[in-house]
Amino acid sequence: MSPVLAPSRSATTEESTLVSRAQGGDVAAFEQLASAHTDRLYAVVLRLVGDRGEAEDVVQEALLRAWRAIGRFQRRAAFATWLHRIAVNEANRTLGKRAQAGNSVPIDDESLKLSAPPHEGPARTAERGELRRSLEVAIAELAPPYRTALVLRDIEGLSTRDAAAIAGVGEAAFKSRLHEARMRVRAAIGDAALLAAPS
C-alpha cells in the first residue's frame, strides 16, 4: 500500500489549528506543522539532488518559501502535499541551475548509502550494491520531470494521486512521465542485469 500524505481525521483538526496559528504569524506553530514532514522532505530532495549539503540548502529554502506563503495556503490540498510541492519545485530549480552550468547530478555514495538487508551474504550484498549503484546513476541521468516522477512514486512509494499533485501535473500526464522514466532506466540498466537481480 502506498504511504499517504493526508493526515488522519484527528490529525487534521490539529493540523488545521496549527495552520491557522501559522497564518497568524506564529512561527512555532509553523515549525510544529512542518517538522512532521521534514525528514521525508529531506529524503526526497536528497534523492533528487544527490548531495547532502545541497539537499539541506534546498529544504531550508523551501521551508522559508512555505513560511512566507503560508498566508496564501488555501487548504485545497493537504499541508504535506503543498509543502512537498514547494520543495520539489525548489529542487528542480537547483537542478535547472546546475544543468545550465553544465554540471550533472552527483552520485555521492555516502549520501545515498543504503541499509543492507539483514543476514545477506557478502557476495549477494556486493551484487545488490552494484545494481543499486547502476540504478542511482540511471536516475541521476534522467531529466528532472522524469526523475521526480520515479523518485516520488517508485522510491518513496507515494500514491499516483499524491505524487502527481506534488509534481504539479494531472494524473494522466504523471503516469506518462513515470512510464517514460521507467523505460529509460530499464534501458540504462539493461534487462539482463535486472532479471539477474536477487529478489
CA atoms of 120 and 129, how far apart (whole Å): 12
- Does 129 bind other proteins (CB under 8 A)? Our answer is no
CA atoms of 80 and 152, how far apart (whole Å): 13
Per CB under 8 A, the list member of 8, 17, 64, 99 interacting with other proteins is 64
Smallest gap, in angstroms, from Cβ of residue 9 to other proteins? 25
- Does 59 bind other proteins (CB under 8 A)? Our answer is yes
Contact 182, 154 (CB under 8 A): yes
CA atoms of 81 and 76, how far apart (whole Å): 10
Binding mask 167-186 for other proteins (x = CB under 8 A): --------x--xx--xx-xx
CA atoms of 61 and 26, how far apart (whole Å): 19
3-state class (DSSP) for residue 197? coil
Instruction: Name the site residues for other proteins (rule: CB under 8 A).
Output: 22-25, 27, 30-31, 34-35, 38-39, 41-43, 46-47, 56, 59-61, 63-64, 67-72, 112-115, 128, 131-132, 135-136, 150, 154-157, 160, 175, 178-179, 182-183, 185-186, 189, 191, 194-195, 197, 199
